[in-house]
Chains A and B, each alone.
Chain A
Amino acid sequence: AQTVTQSQPEMSVQEAETVTLSCTYDTSESDYYLFWYKQPPSRQMILVIRQEAYKQQNATENRFSVNFQKAAKSFSLKISDSQLGDAAMYFCAYRSRFRYGGSQGNLIFGKGTKLSVKP
């Protein structure tokens, strides 16, 4: 079974600085998707970035980028020029690409990392 591990329960970053959130996963599959979701306090979870395992190029969305190391099964999120609005819980998630049947499309989440941004 696949597992997702976020080893940093909490992180802190100074406004305008850069921070990297870690995520590792375990799978025997070769094709899958990886996601970072952001959940601000008392607000809904939103998708930050998505990576397809068959693509070697790291995904980027404005100030958010990932470092995808497939062999190491690592998927870290880098936030550049941190802003106060980046403060949130960040969840790493895995999804198989080709599994069918009952578990198709199921997201497997890590426990999350709480990011604080200091002004």
Chain B
Amino acid sequence: ETGVTQTPRHLVMGMTNKKSLKCEQHLGHNAMYWYKQSAKKPLELMFVYSLEERVENNSVPSRFSPECPNSSHLFLHLHTLQPEDSALYLCASSHVRRDTQYFGPGTRLTVL
């Protein structure tokens, strides 16, 4: 279970704060993903990065900003979040976009 790591595991922030979530994969994969998991809702794909392209879900608010400096690291920068953004944020990676995805443990985010 250490192939994909995420930090921090828990984060509490105010609506005016700026924070970042970090994901790192040690599997040699070339594609990375951010998902949002809210209670009683299906997992929602937020962003995808791969060697070929960056793909965004157009419904994701601009207060979420992804960054992928290399194939092993993925960040999600957060600013001026809303209480409804409280959720479990999951990172995943795969060898290529068409391959099986492996998930990290998630960051439990609470916005006050």
Nearest CB in chain B: distance from A93 CB, A:
8
In terms of DSSP, what is the predominant structure of the interface of chain B? loop
A111 within 8 A of B: yes
Contact with B along A103-119 (1 / 0, CB 8 A): 11111111110000000
Chain B interfacial residues counted at CB < 8 A: 25
A4 within 8 A of B: yes
User: Are B94 and A105 in contact, with the CB atoms below 8 A?
Assistant: yes
**CB < 8 Å A-B pair total:** 48
Chain B residue nearest to A89 (CB atoms) is B37
A106 neighbours in B (Cβ, 8 Å): 45, 48
Chain A interface residue bracket vs B = 20 to 34
Q: Roughly how many angstroms separate A110 CA and B42 CA in the complex, as a whole number?
A: 5
A102 neighbours in B (Cβ, 8 Å): 53, 55
Nearest CB in chain B: distance from A119 CB, A:
24
Give the contacts of B48-63 with A (CB-CB under 8 A): 48, 50, 53, 55
What are 28 A-to-B residue pairs whose CB atoms are below 8 Å?
A: A37-B103, A43-B1, A43-B105, A44-B4, A44-B90, A44-B104, A44-B105, A44-B106, A47-B100, A47-B102, A50-B100, A97-B98, A102-B55, A103-B55, A104-B97, A104-B98, A105-B50, A105-B96, A105-B97, A105-B98, A105-B99, A105-B101, A106-B48, A109-B42, A109-B43, A110-B42, A111-B41, A112-B42
Q: Roughly how many angstroms separate A102 CA and B49 CA in the complex, as a whole number?
A: 11
